[in-house]
Amino acid sequence: MPLHLYFGPQDLLRCRFAVSPLGQTHEAVRVLRRPWRHGYHLPWLRRIRGALAGLDLTELWALMPAPGYTPDFLGPPPAAPCPSFEEELARLRATDPAAARGELARSLATAPDSPDAPVVRRLLADPARAVRRLADLTERAWEALVAPDWPRLRALLEADIAFRSRRLADGGLERLFADLRPAVSWAPGRLTVHTTGSVPPSQTLDGRGLLLMPSVFVWPEVVSGFAPPWQPTVIYPARGVGGLWQEPGPGAAEALVRLLGPNRAAILGRLTEPASTSALALRHRLAPSSVSAHLAVLRGAGLLTSRRQGREVLYERTPLGIALAAGEPPPA
């Protein structure tokens, strides 16, 4: 059903992006039960099969009805652009049991006849215990499903944000949302989201602005998250997901070296987290001037993006760079 979000002048000034490791954990849990999300993630699903042994996700799945309402306290909108998983988990553990009771009851009301309804009723019987149980289960899901790949996932999500920030600067909200059509469309003062979430059909932002969160695991859907009083949020598929789990073919590392040269291939292949010129020079035992020249070429080819953080400029791979570097090149 379409959701209409109505913007006032202050809302246009309060649009922001964030990356949520907690949110990615819950979206990863959803993938396991929603076959229509499997398309790009089959290599990941095969690889984590062993990690799922002994991991009972029943209580989390019970609170993720499709369609239906997932309690917002499981993963409230992050206050910072990229909080750590530990920070977000602490916020989940600190949930007021009374607030948890209200949201658990709402989730049950949206899917009262679900086979999972008895599980939700047991959680409702002791909301304080439910919060502890759900936090512990979320932590185990993070460790099994997401943490081993988090540097790669975070790089892709941050690259998406860097791309969309430039589009926002170039053409405003209309250009920002252009490639998300028809799931998301912009008209003056109104954003329409065709979402599968259980939300009111319209919201006036009332100065709260809009939070935009790219997701690795939400494809092919766009999801509108969080009922009032939380900040309205649109969760959308990050660019480059198609190449995220791509396994290198035979000789891929050597081919990357032939394409880029050994030093550029090594820099691209090992840039799993944002890094500065000086850090990369130390890592690869190259002169800073040489590294700077290599970075300029890789950035010009669309394989890297850069952003300033304090006095440093940090470089990170774009979705294209991540896909190209699917196989780590040999040491330079």
Is the pLDDT at 90 greater than 70, yes or no? yes
Share of the chain above pLDDT 70, in %: 94
| Alpha helix stretches (DSSP H) within 32-116 | 42-47, 58-62, 85-93, 97-110
Q: Strand, coil or helix: what is 303?
A: coil
103: nearest Cα among 75, 133, 73, 145: 73
Structure-model confidence comparison of residues 75 and 166, the more confident one: 75
For the segment 9-35, the average pLDDT, to the nearest whole number, is 93
Q: Please state, in angstroms and as integers, the Cα–Cα distance from residue 95 to each residue in 19, 73, 75, 130, 136, following that order.
A: 21, 7, 10, 10, 13
Is the pLDDT at 332 greater than 50, yes or no? no
Under a CB-based contact definition with an 8 Å cutoff, are residues 243 and 231 in contact?
no
For the segment 269-289, the average pLDDT, to the nearest whole number, is 90
Structure-model confidence comparison of residues 308 and 233, the more confident one: 233
Classify residue 13 as exposed, middle or buried by CB count within 10 Å of its CB (0-12, 13-18, 19+): exposed
Average pLDDT, the chain: 88
pLDDT digits (tens, 9 = 90+) for 106-147: 999 999 999 999 999 999 999 999 999 999 999 999 999 999
pLDDT digits (tens, 9 = 90+) for 195-228: 765 556 788 888 889 999 999 999 888 888 777 7
Under a CB-based contact definition with an 8 Å cutoff, are residues 19 and 214 in contact?
yes
Q: Residue 57 — very low, low, confident or very high, per pLDDT cuts 50/70/90?
A: very high
Torsion, CA 307, CA 168, CA 220, CA 225, rounded to 10: 100
